[in-house]
């Protein structure tokens, strides 16, 4: 990029570039040089806005967590509409897109990144923890509407849904699983907790 050209939102430009690199090249391809090359900016731009690459990655994960929190609000608002299985299936497919799965892998692989995220107050297992909280919040809203048993263990159900769906998504490297496969996981996990209409 020529010097003297102002960037509108360099942080967003770098985050978007990182997402594209993750989608195309996976975790092993995500380097500071790959991000700045993809963003078509000088390498110094990243270091002008972030202390180091781990600081950049931490902010990227926090940005993704903010997106999960926005999804959580939309999912809670869907309580009482459609079917619980369809709502959960859609939420898990949105949550566990290939980039999010790559970011979870990235968090697992980088000790310093995990340390910084914990210092920022994320869940113990960033993104997966926020995803489980999103699902538990939705299940609570459905329980309040009488569509889930009053004595259902919502935290266990949410964690089981996230874990089982995450395995389903990570096993399919070439393409994400079909919606029917995700729905099967949902209906299996939720079978004992659903109230009959």
Regarding whether 37 and 116 lie in a shared domain, the answer is no
DSSP output for 7-26: PS-HHHHHHHHHHHHHHHHT
Say if residue 1's pLDDT is above 80. Answer: no
Block residue for tokens 């999960």: 68
Residue 196 maps to a domain: no
Q: What are phi and psi of 126, to 5 degrees?
A: -55, 145
Residue 174 maps to a domain: yes
Mean pLDDT across the chain, nearest whole number?
Answer: 90
CB-side neighbour CA atoms (13 Å) of 52: 4
- What does pTM read for this prediction? 0.85
CA 88 – CA 187 distance, rounded (Å): 9
Name the pLDDT band for 72 (thresholds 50, 70, 90).
very high
Regarding whether 155 and 137 lie in a shared domain, the answer is yes
Say if residue 20's pLDDT is above 70. Answer: yes
194 three-class SS? strand
- Name the DSSP class of 88: H
Regarding whether 105 and 38 lie in a shared domain, the answer is no
Q: Domain tally for the chain?
A: 2
Name the pLDDT band for 189 (thresholds 50, 70, 90).
very high
User: What's 103's domain CATH number?
Assistant: 1.10.357
CB-side neighbour CA atoms (13 Å) of 120: 19
CA 11 – CA 8 distance, rounded (Å): 9
Where in the sequence is the domain holding 180, given as residue range(s)?
53-190
Say if residue 2's pLDDT is above 90. Answer: no
Residue 1 maps to a domain: no
What per-residue confidence (pLDDT) applies to 122? 86
Q: Which two tokens stand for residue 96?
A: 């566990």
């Amino acid at each position: 990029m020529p010097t003297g050209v102002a960037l509108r939102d360099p942080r967003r430009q770098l985050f978007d570039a990182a997402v594209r690199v993750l989608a195309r090249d996976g975790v092993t391809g995500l380097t500071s040089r790959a991000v700045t090359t993809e963003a078509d900016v000088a390498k110094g731009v990243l270091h002008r806005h972030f202390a180091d690459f781990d600081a950049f990655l931490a902010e990227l994960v926090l940005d993704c967590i903010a997106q999960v929190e926005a999804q959580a609000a939309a999912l809670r608002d869907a309580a009482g509409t459609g079917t619980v299985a369809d709502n959960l299936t859609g939420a898990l497919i949105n949550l566990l897109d290939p980039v999010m799965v790559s970011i979870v892998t990235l968090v697992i692989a980088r000790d310093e990144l995990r340390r910084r995220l914990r210092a920022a107050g994320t869940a113990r297992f960033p993104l997966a923890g926020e995803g489980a909280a999103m699902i538990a919040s939705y299940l609570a809203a459905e329980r309040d509407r009488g569509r889930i048993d009053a004595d259902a263990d919502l935290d266990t159900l949410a964690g089981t849904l996230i874990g089982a769906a995450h395995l389903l998504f990570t096993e399919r490297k070439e393409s994400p699983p079909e919606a029917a496969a995700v729905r099967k996981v949902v209906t299996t996990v939720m079978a004992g907790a659903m109230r009959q209409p």
